[in-house]
Amino acid sequence: MSRLILGQTLSFTADPFATPAAEAVRHERRGAVLVEDGRIAAIGPADDLRAAHPQAAVTDHGDGLVMAGFVDAHVHYPQTAIIASWGKRLIDWLNDYTFPEELRFGDPDYAAAVAGRYLDLVLANGTTTVCSYCTIHPESVEALFSAAEARGMRIAAGKTCMDRNAPEGLRDSPALAYDQSKALLRKWHGRARLDYVITPRFSPTSTPEQLEALGSLWAEHPDCLMQTHLSEQTDEIAWMRGLFPDARDYLDTYERFGLLGERALYGHAIWLEAREIARLAETGAALVHCPTSNTFIGSGLFRTREHAVAGQPVGLATDTGGGSSFSMLRTMAAAYEVGQLSGTPLHPAQLLWLATCGSARAMHLQDRIGNLEAGREADIIVLDLASTPAIRQRAQEADTLWEALFPTIMMGDDRAVAAVYVAGKPAPRGAG
CA 360 – CA 22 distance, rounded (Å): 21
Q: Quick one: pLDDT at residue 180?
A: 98
In this prediction the pTM is 0.97
The CA-atom distances, in angstroms, between 113 and each of 117, 139, 188, 397, 427 are 6, 12, 20, 44, 19
pLDDT at residue 152 in the model? 97
Residue-level pLDDT at 325 = 95
**What pLDDT score was predicted for residue 431?**
47
β partners of residue 28? 9
Q: Which CATH class, in words, describes the domain spanning 3-68+371-426?
A: mainly beta
Q: Do 333 and 324 form a contact (C-beta atoms < 8 A)?
A: no
User: Which regions of the chain are under pLDDT 70?
Assistant: 429-432
Angle at which helices 174-188 and 138-151 cross, to 10°: 20
Three-state DSSP class for residue 321: coil
Domain topology for 70-362? TIM Barrel (3.20.20)
Domain extents in the chain? 3-68+371-426, 70-362
Other CB atoms closer than 10 Å to residue 216's CB: what's the count? Answer: 15
What pLDDT does 294 receive? 95
Cis peptide bond prior to 321, omega within 30° of 0? yes
Residue 430 is predicted with a pLDDT of 54
Do the Cβ atoms of 80 and 325 come closer than 8 Å?
no
The span from the CA of 288 to the CA of 229, in Å, is 9
For the stretch 360-398, pLDDT in tens is: 999 999 999 999 999 999 999 999 999 999 999 999 999
Beta bridge partners of 57: 3
β-bridge mates for residue 65, sequence order: 8, 383
Helices vs. strands in the chain: H and E counts, helices first: 18, 16
Are 3-68+371-426 and 70-362 equal in CATH topology?
no
Q: What is the CA radius of gyration of the chain?
A: 21
Up-side HSE of residue 396: CA atoms within 13 Å toward CB?
8
Checking DSSP bridges between strand 314-316 and strand 286-289, what pairing results, if any? parallel
End-to-end CA distance of the chain: 28
DSSP string for 358-400? IHHHHTT-TTTSSS--TTSB--EEEE-TT-SHHHHHHHTT-SS
Query: What are all long-range contacts of 347-350, with beta carbons under 8 Å and residues at least 24 apart?
Result: 347/16, 347/21, 347/402, 348/21, 348/402, 348/405, 348/406, 348/409, 349/12, 349/16, 349/21, 349/24, 349/25, 349/402, 350/16, 350/17, 350/21, 350/305, 350/308
Specify the pLDDT at position 432.
43
DSSP for 197-248?
EEEE--GGGS-HHHHHHHHHHHHH-TTSEEEEEES--HHHHHHHHHH-TT-S
Write out pLDDT tens, residues 37-58: 999 999 999 999 999 999 999 9
In 41-135, which residue ranges form alpha helices assigned H by DSSP?
46-52, 90-93, 99-102, 108-124
User: How would you classify the pairing of strands 314-316 and 380-383?
Assistant: unpaired
Closest CA to 335 of 310, 359, 367: 359
Tell me the per-residue pLDDT of 152-164, one tens digit each, with 9 for 90 and over.
999 999 999 999 9
For residue 152, the 8-state DSSP code is T
